[in-house]
Chain A
């Protein structure tokens, strides 16, 4: 046989192999999902990554979930505990939780209250070095097994919000005691348990069948899931670190469903034929944080920002609707509420209109005039030029450019800066841009309130006690804002047992924030999802960013 014949033979064999490739087609209804990042851990207590939480939520059942409309949906729990049904004591310090009957782990072992007791014991033990669960660890006095279906938690202070201590977004991970207990007893910690990376036993609607590192995860329906069987038998999550190729795969129909679509990408996905998008409450607000720190810090903010009139003028100068229309396809709306989108947003707060004349009047009143005719306002020889920093995310940089123009129109100059997130958000000790105050305006998202009015942005990022500095290197307040009135109201939102009182405090916080403007809210950021319309029998109901995006997965159905 000549060399040419051999070569031809090889080509024919290769062609046949390629032609046979479709033989491996999936034989169960399969949903292919694209993730931008690979989960870093399959034990929810050891990750803070949204993608890891989403993957975990497929295989983990919570006591209860939060729906797309922020309502509690019981899952493993028989009834959501309340003072009325006796599940919570009058002083909100004791929770008695009863599970549904007949719950099983995926390997057929009964899932009982003992698993929850073990889980809370693991949270409580600092040797486990858990990333999550600190609020429970510090507050939990004891956990006791009442019977196979019931356990009791006793806290050292009132815990008015069940979701913080027994549900999503609290400990939505349950550790199978029959798997982890031997490891804990042998090692003294479950931190490095192989099960964290390669779990084998699950409580949720799916089991993790295969994890091809760097490439994909395959989930198959859990036959022992007590709450029913999903109609989609298999979910494959594929990792696409590059959004352009991820969206190309969506456009080509090689992906069915893509979470975490950024605001900046929504317009182009809207142009994809046969692709729909859905947005749910995300729990974030994109904001401009103003550096109010003074000379005692390594870098003080621009002196003009100490004057509240200048801060308010900046808000008047912004045309947030134009940003939405020009850069985000009109998909977001401006807000002045730090509780935007949550049930605790004050509907009467209103939104500051774009009013350059009002901005100029306030700046004039504050004494910032353009005395040297260079187009930028100044005072006592100091030009009103602000360092405006953010991360290197493209859509943020586009917003920077538009805001630069809008501020220039009222005589405020800006110097635009962009840093990698690891540099921008680095800690005080690591010389982080944000932590050290190397900015006058910093753009990034703040958390809003979720299912209760305790707002982490208010509690931490704007609290007096959290102001970062050499004496408080772990502080989370990087703008230097301090208001005793707001701290008091914040405390009420966290600890009051009276829902009306908490709501009133939340409204007061919104008023203080709007008046003092230590940060300027741009728009609430939803959680955006894109999917191939024809792949679904009907539009999928996606959970809010607060809880579990798959809370309704049992009802998702693929088209024939």
Chain B
């Protein structure tokens, strides 16, 4: 097991380098970070724009920019004025030494921007994900054990209904119903946007609508997945044997069927978990939730390359880590698996 983990970790290093370069090239091709000033009332002059370009290092070739992002520039001289008259040592240490760069927008370290948003994202995404998976297991297992029953058909229909709706539509309809329409009939209005005044009750109130939307949109897929996985297992010989031994339906499902049906679910959860850190782009935007998804979109809109790269690399590392964890969890669920 240890040898396997070490091998996987070593394999992931070149992979992360390749991914980082591809992502760097893509993010650099997204647009001009200074384009945001084009329609600004206090538009910087051409000279100021040139100075900013040099300061941000955007006048250098892509490979050189990547190298600076990776290993920093504190070992080289930087042409401050662009004419060679003032050469100063660089100040960046590079990602390999823990410096993710400065945000083009706020001039803060990119990691600071992530630190500001990560807790809010986890506060939204973890409850939504736990509710989704818990409900999905309950509904999926129940549907599988009562295939084609009224409940099964109803859940299947609802699943497809929500699954086929875009999240922005569900979100806006939810806002319209719970914050605008129902209050007209005397119901309390649910708050739109943000995380509240810092108290737990207010936080819960502010979470109701976004969590509902996230669960509604994600639940369908999980329910269908678990149902189908359970149906596969329920037709296996060992389930028939368990029934023949006289075990109750509950014990057969719980101890024999679900444990085996859960293996594909673990793979799915293992793949999904790292992306909880990425937040929910549309939901966070519509509900003005101060999370990572919004940060990414805001950074994208302003071509804030250091912040985008920091978020993307964080996700890449997390995907590698969670895949390893998933592999370890497999061995617990299925003792036959050995590495």
Contacts and interface: CB of A to CB of B under 8 A. Distances in A.
> Are the chains A and B members of one assembly?
yes
Interface of A: 14, 17-18, 20-21, 24, 37-38, 40-41, 46, 48-50, 53, 129, 131-132, 134-135, 169, 191-192, 196-197, 212-216, 238-242, 244-246, 248-249, 251-252, 254, 283-284, 420-427, 429-430, 432, 434, 444-445, 447, 456, 460, 466, 474-476, 545-546
Nearest to A241: B285
Contacts of B196: 21
B277 to A, nearest CB: 15
Query: For this complex, into which size category does the number of interface residues on chain B fall?
Result: 35 or more
Given A48-B40, A129-B55, A475-B46, A249 B193 contact: yes
A404 B311 CA distance: 41
A48 B44 contact: yes
Interface in B47-84: 47-53, 55, 58-59
Contacts of B59: 429
Contacts of A239: 288, 290
Contact of A249 (B116, B171, B192, B298): B192
Given A283-B41, A422-B32, A432-B35, A244 B46 contact: no
B303 interface: yes
Given A213-B117, A240-B288, A425-B32, A545 B41 contact: yes
Contacts of B6: none
18 contacts: A18-B201, A132-B44, A197-B108, A214-B117, A240-B288, A241-B285, A242-B285, A248-B176, A249-B179, A249-B192, A252-B183, A254-B193, A422-B303, A423-B35, A426-B31, A426-B35, A427-B34, A429-B53
B202 interface: yes
Contacts of A134: 44-45, 47-48
Contacts of B33: 422
B106 A197 contact: yes
A18 B204 contact: yes
Contacts of A248: 172, 175-176, 179-180, 192
A214 B290 contact: yes
B201 A17 contact: yes
Contact of B39 (A252, A284, A427): A284
A169 B41 contact: yes
Interface string B173-204: 00110011001000001011111110111101
B226 to A, nearest CB: 23
B192 A252 contact: yes
B42 A169 contact: yes
A240 B48 CA distance: 30
B140 interface: no
A395 to B, nearest CB: 14
B323 to A, nearest CB: 30
Contacts of A425: 32, 35-36, 38-39
A241 to B, nearest CB: 5
Given A214-B291, A421-B38, A545-B41, 15 more contacts: A48-B40, A50-B40, A129-B52, A129-B55, A197-B106, A241-B294, A245-B172, A245-B175, A245-B192, A248-B179, A421-B301, A422-B33, A426-B34, A427-B49, A460-B46
